[in-house]
Amino acid sequence: MNTALKNLIAGAGHVPADRDYARRTLASMDLTSLGENDTDEMIIDLCRRAITPVGRVAAVCLYGRFVPLARRRLAGTGVKVATVCNFPHGGGDARKAVSEAKAQVAGGAEEVDVVLPYKRYMAGDTDRAVSLIEQVRSVCGETARLKVILETSQIRSLRMIEAASRDVILAGADFIKTSTGKVPGGAQLDVAAVMLSVIAEMQPKMNRPLGFKPSGGLKTVADAAGYLYLADQIMGRGWATPETFRFGASSLLDDVLRELGEAETDTELGDY
């Protein structure tokens, strides 16, 4: 990692929260509920929380069985409905992942967050790991945006994260995402800088917009501000919009609303 990037990362770690960062965070949030015991009532409440007095989130992210319900509740609001595939373990069964994604898209999912078979990738079986992403991409087609989760806290090596980011973009990823939130560790600023740098490198070669989604461990506007700062510095101010930048989080919404003077006291849904 070069000195300039290290300096950016150091600066990102000290960005203070303010109302502008809070508004940008709200607009780019994937408000998430991925609990094993989620119910229709919990998802209805999630959809309610997605529309706030100071603006709406970009999307809700939930298990595939709740996609039709969320689509009905959010119709006409502009909030996207996202789901997860091959989640959370990133298994290597491409046929199963493709079948799952196909059902999700048929059910109305507008975005699919699929987990790269990261253990297979780390073991050197990169072709088969990336092939799963290509096959899920073919199912999503032009109907659903594909966001690929690398599970970066498990890969750990920045060099391998860089290679995996490049590989999944070539395989059809619209977004590259750090984490599932289901294993220890989550988004980290140095990882974000590497992934954003790959996007900056790859974007001129692609015929579609590329995006970035940090996820895992983001609880405050100050947490989020560091990632927006990196995006502004690496990609240019104005790049990080809901079309190219998302936060995967649930409890982050509470701090955003506090920063904007709209405190909410709902029970946290978890950290995803």
Does 42 score more than 60 pLDDT?
yes
C-alpha 109/C-alpha 86 separation (Å) is 15
The set of catalytic residues is: 113, 177, 213
CB 108 within 8 A of CB 87: no
pLDDT tens-digit series, residues 72-121: 999 999 999 999 999 999 999 999 999 999 999 999 999 999 999 999 99
Q: How many CA atoms lie within 13 A of 256 on its CB side?
A: 30
Residue 263, pLDDT score: 74
135: which 2 tokens?
Answer: 């096959």
pLDDT band at 236 (very low <50, low <70, confident <90, very high): very high
Q: Which whole-number Å values give the CA distances from 149 to 77, 93, 100, in the listed order? A: 26, 16, 16
pLDDT tens-digit series, residues 181-233: 999 999 999 999 999 999 999 999 999 999 999 999 999 999 999 999 999 99
Q: Is the peptide bond before 88 cis (omega within 30 degrees of 0)?
A: yes
C-alpha 22/C-alpha 25 separation (Å) is 5
Total-model pTM: 0.95
pLDDT band at 13 (very low <50, low <70, confident <90, very high): very high
Does 266 score more than 50 pLDDT?
no
| Domains of the chain: residue spans and CATH | 3-259 (3.20.20.70)
Residue 264, pLDDT score: 60
Does 269 score more than 50 pLDDT?
no
Nearest to 55 by CA among 253, 270, 267: 253
Nearest to 229 by CA among 30, 66, 12: 12
Residue 1, pLDDT score: 86
Does 163 score more than 80 pLDDT?
yes
pLDDT tens-digit series, residues 120-159: 999 999 999 999 999 999 999 999 999 999 999 999 899 9
Does 270 score more than 50 pLDDT?
no
pLDDT tens-digit series, residues 51-83: 999 999 999 999 999 999 999 999 999 999 999
- Residue 21, C-beta contacts closer than 8 angstroms, at least 6 positions apart: 15, 221, 224, 225, 228, 259
